[in-house]
Amino acid sequence: MKYTAAAFTGVALLVGCASIDDGQRHFPTADEAIATSWKTTDPAWRQRLVQDDTQKLCSQVRDRPDKATAERIEKMNQTMKVVYPEGGKLVGDWKRGEAIAQSGYGLRVGDTTPNRAIGGNCYACHQLQAKELSYGTLGPSLLGYGKLRGRSDAIVKYTYDKIWNAQAFSACSNMPRFGHNGILTPAQIADLVALLVDPASPVNQ
Ligand code: HEC
């Protein structure tokens, strides 16, 4: 997920140039496309271009792992550390969770407001309430999540762990690994769990 948009831009630019290159079409590798399209020298940003083992494996199979590779990736991610909120309370405040789900703010190059809370952008991929018409469909609808599954300890823990690191459950998922990659804090993830399981939340109306 990390460099999909940049890779597409790079590929489009290079293919565009190559097509006037009189038959000498050169289709760049993903690495070439990224290297030529992301010009920033900010070390923190450039570090995001470095793939970890999970991303490398998923790139190699173009996000379509066979069963053995999928199991390997999921096992690898299951052994990675999950940090829980202080006090161990995995269900926070659904109202705060709703604000986090709606916000796509964060992780921008040259950000001048570093203290502004990063969002989860969950609506970009998931339906989360019946009234909201503008949501993405890359991920499954989560409407009625708590109504359908309840809020047992097992469901709450699964939901927290899933948001923390989606690939521990579904290899090469398009869903960002929000906790694992330090995008959201444990408290924010607990608020999102509340959004999904709390009977009063718009998800369960
Ligand atoms: C870029 C797209 C994308 C974003 C953003 C995203 N997800 Fe997902 N999510 C997916 C996809 C795809 C799946 C299905 C594959 C999988 O399970 O990983 C999924 C699965 C899930 C599941 C598991 C559903 C089930 O049936 O068990 C939960 C829970 C979830 N997402 C919650 C969230 C929350 C909360 C956020 C915001 C913090 C979020 N997602 C942001 C793409 C996304």
What is 17-84 written as a DSSP string? HHHTSTT------HHHHHHHH-----HHHHHTTS--HHHHHHHHTTT---HHHHHHHHHHHHTS--PP
What's the confidence (pLDDT) of residue 9?
41
Domain end, chosen from 46, 72, 98, is at 72
Indicate the number of domains in the chain.
2
26 and 114 both lie in a single domain: no
In a domain, 182, yes or no: yes
129 CB under 6 A from ligand 1? no
**77 is a domain residue:** no
Its domain, for residue 157, covers 86-204
The gap from C-alpha 95 to its chain's centroid, in whole angstroms, comes to 21
Cβ–ligand 1 contact at 4 (below 6 Å):
no
C-alpha 15 to ligand 1 mean position (Å): 32
Q: Whose CA is nearest to atom 8 of ligand 1?
A: 175
Q: Are residues 66 and 91 in the same domain?
A: no
Residue type, 56: K
Please tell me the predicted confidence (pLDDT) of residue 58: 97
Same domain, yes or no: 42 and 107: no
Whether ligand 1 lies within 6 angstroms of the CB of 174 is answered as yes
Amino acid 18: pLDDT: 39
Domain check: are 150 and 103 in the same one?
Answer: yes
What is the best residue among 103, 125, 178, 188 to mutate for testing ligand 1's pocket, by most ligand atoms within 8 Å of CB?
125
Distant-in-sequence, close-in-space partners of 172: CB < 8 Å, separation ≥ 6: 57, 58, 61, 63, 64, 65, 70, 73
- On whether residue 59 sits in a domain, the answer given is yes
Which of 77, 98, 102, 126 gets mutated to test ligand 1 (max ligand atoms within 8 A of its CB)? Answer: 126
Any domain includes 81: no
Helix axis angle, 4-19 relative to 30-37, nearest 10°?
90
Same domain, 30 and 125: no
* Residue 85 CA: distances (Å) to CA of 75, 91, 152, 184, 193: 23, 9, 18, 12, 12
Residues 20 and 110 in one domain: no
User: Are 50 and 145 in a shared domain?
Assistant: no
Residue keyed to tokens 């499954």 = 140
Q: What is the pLDDT of residue 27?
A: 83
Residue 103 lies in a domain: yes
Same domain, yes or no: 192 and 135: yes
110-116: long-range pairs with CB below 8 Å, 24+: 110/42
Q: Using most ligand atoms within 8 A of CB, pick from 96, 164, 165, 175 the residue to mutate for ligand 1.
A: 175
Q: Is 54 in the pocket of ligand 1 (CB under 6 A)?
A: no
Residues 176 and 120 placed together within one structural domain of the fold: yes
Last-in-domain residue among 42, 72, 102: 72
Residue 117 belongs to a domain with what CATH number?
1.10.760.10
Residue at 79 is within a domain: no
Which of 21, 46, 72 lies at the terminal end of a domain, its last residue? 72
Query: 22 and 108 share a domain?
Result: no
55 with 96, same domain: the answer is no
Does 100 share its domain with 129? Answer: yes
**What is the block-wise mean pLDDT of the chain (205 residues), using blocks of 10 residues?**
42 40 73 78 82 95 96 98 96 98 86 82 97 94 97 98 98 98 96 98 97
Whole-number pLDDT of residue 22: 54
Instruction: Give the pLDDT confidence score for residue 109 in this predicted structure.
Output: 73
Task: Quote the ligand 1 centre to 175 CA distance (angstroms).
Answer: 5
* CB of 175 sitting under 6 A from ligand 1: yes
Between CA 65 and CA 192 the distance in angstroms is: 29
